[in-house]
Amino acid sequence: MEKQSETIVEEREEFMVSPTGGYPTRRKAHFLNPTATSNIGKVSELPMDCFSPKPLTCDFKDLSEKVLFKGWKHPTEKWKRWVRNMHPKHQVLWKQVGIYEAVMSSMYDMKQHKELVLGIAEKWSLDTSTFIFPWGEATITLEDVMVCGGYSVLGASVLSTLKTKQLVELEEKLIEGRKEAARWSSLVATHNAWMDYFMGTGHDLEHEAFLSLWLSNFVLVKSTSFKYIGKHVFPIAIHLARGTQVALAPAVLSSIYRDLSLLKDWFFGSNVVQTNELANLYAPFQLVQVWIWERFPRLRPMANSISHGEPRLARWHRLKVNVDDMKLAIDSAGKSFQWRPYAIAVNGWSLPKFYGDKEQYILIDSRLNEEIQSFARCLRVSELVGVESIEQYLPHRVAMQFGMDQDIPGCVARCNGNPEIAWRNYSRPIQDAVLYIPGRFFESDVTTQYSDWWKQSMLAHCDAIRPFVRRPRSSRNLQHVSVRRKECHIHFSPDDHLKYGGVSGGNSTKENEAGDLVQEEDMEDQLTIRELLTSAKHNSEEIVMAGESDSPLCAQSPLSSTKKIETLAKMEANMKLSEVKLRFTLAVDVPPLSVGEIQNVPTFIAEKEEVKKIKSEVKQDAEVTRNERSVGKSKGVMADDVKIKPGLKDGGEGSNTRDLSTLGLELEARISRLEKLLAELKEKRFRNKLENHFRWGSSEP
């Protein structure tokens, strides 16, 4: 096996393109290792579980009743009082060991929006520990846990043992206190009984007891410590109380990854509708919801204002939100998704040093700032050691979340033979001589290779699930037309297109499906404008059902605005498209529609008054342009195709007084605009069919 690079960031020149499409430009870029380019072509392919072949048979509202987030705790007034009592005496120590914001965050209440969390969890991939959206790949990282949760990425492992006799004796005293607290209740040390025994008593172990409850109830929840104090947190509490920093962030993230995988398995592993099986999850899933709100503007409520010194989590204290079409909002978030929400200045919240206005090249030495060390740890692939799990951490798959550019991710070997090996992998020294940190205003791009790879991966997985999912067929009866073999290009960026279907012989499923789509496009050339508009109305209604994606990888809607419907309707209603002699290609750069524009399409068509108005205008246009038929024939195009307005020089008497040269130029300009408009229409309708085929097919009978 080729040894992969130990450096975190790689700098090289590449052709880069925006993740939402555009023209590639060659520039110096920065990537997180390992990439396929730097790893001798070893590509980490998208896993098979990123799209389930079995669609969910029930909605998230029904599923939410069977999911219990037992690690998502709500603070009691008694706990808040204990935090306030301990704060003056121990706040300096909390800051020293990196738990201050995490402890203070436990006083804030995050209202559960289970359907929102489940909607994101459906996109989870067990193999890559990332969310696979139609428009890209993203995940919860150490940066999210560090910034939103307030946990440290530096320090000792959560599995570190107590080395000295004195520390062991402290652990024994806590175990004895647990037994004493149990006698105060029902023979078990409940959280309330623990507080009754230690809180405000002046006990010499009150601080250790306080941290033990915090860890057991809010941070490292286990099934055995859901309601009770768990002994597994005593060594950690003793370390923290004695000023030893513990890396809680990787342990917390490991539990989140583990439970997201369990939840995804639960989605599709059994018939959750017909059984009473419950999903009990113990990770702090409030961080998942906060991650969603920080990055998906359409899914979040208006954030609270926070005061100086409050944790960032306070922005979402006790907030609620209602999302009408959550799946649509998630799948169409390609352009609105915030890759770097923490680099945006927020009143009352201090930006960490690694969110500078300008890019930085930091020399790696023994004097390296702790915040920079923490950010470097967030950038590096590693193993996450938790109390009950070891999960793989792959930030190079989501480099844009750190302000880096994205290349095709390389493969990463596991180092999880045991917790000791995994921890050595996580805590290994930084090998970079100089660490690059991007400016907070920098907008990341993807390489053109990555763009190609992503599109091919999407199509490959759609092929893989074809035995389970079939695209809906058009309801209209189409006459048999022999298929012309031709190359179809779905244009996602101006000079980066994807070949779909082949020009050579073959009977593959992909070629047959492509042939079906090409055949329908050929037959549409024989439709009249009125028939085409009727078909467009039908397809636009389907799009509102299916949703829109901002990604250049996905299909677009058939019309870009209601104005284009008017323009098309003003042409001769019974004229066939083939008569216009359009020379067009599907590879045109058409910007995607917003959700609002898509929703306006069926609304406009459904208005009977507007339809009557359009029909009236069509009739008037035919009368106006019929007088120009002889002129139009001399240019090779019927003048009925376009509406000719009165010229400025003839006093409004019409265009008959103008010379043929001027009239011909105007006709050619109008025909050019018409060709472009119809090309856009056909290309968007073709993309819509692909979208239905890829993502919204019906199940096999």
Residue 612, pLDDT score = 46
Count the neighbouring beta carbons within 10 Å of the beta carbon of residue 61.
10
Residues of the chain with pLDDT under 50: 1-2, 468-526, 528-530, 532-533, 536-615, 617-658, 696-701
Q: Which of 619, 623, 627 is nearest to 657 (CA)?
A: 627
Our measurement of the distance from residue 533's CA atom to the centroid of its chain's CA atoms, rounded to an integer in Å, reads 34
**β-bridge pairing 279-281 and 360-363:** unpaired
CA pair distance 246, 257, nearest whole angstrom: 20
Residue 687, pLDDT score = 66
pTM of the model: 0.69
Beta bridge partners of 410: 43
Residue 592, pLDDT score = 43
Q: What is Dmax (Cα atoms) for the chain? A: 108
Residue 42, pLDDT score = 75
Residue 388, pLDDT score = 93
| Cα angle, residue 413 at apex, residues 408 and 417 outer, rounded to 5° | 155
Sign of CA dihedral 116, 119, 123, 124: positive
SS3 5: coil
Name every residue whose Cβ is closer than 8 Å to that of residue 425 and which is 6 or more positions away in sequence. 382, 383, 415
Contact yes or no for 557/543 (Cβ under 8 A): yes
Residue 421, pLDDT score = 96
CA pair distance 181, 192, nearest whole angstrom: 9
Name every residue whose Cβ is closer than 8 Å to that of residue 278 and which is 6 or more positions away in sequence. 66, 67, 68
Residue 74, pLDDT score = 95
DSSP-derived secondary structure for 513-573: HHHHHHHHHHHHTTSBHHHHHHHHHHHHHHHHHH----STTS---S-S-HHHHHHHHTS-T
Question: What residue spans define the domains of the chain?
Answer: 472-699
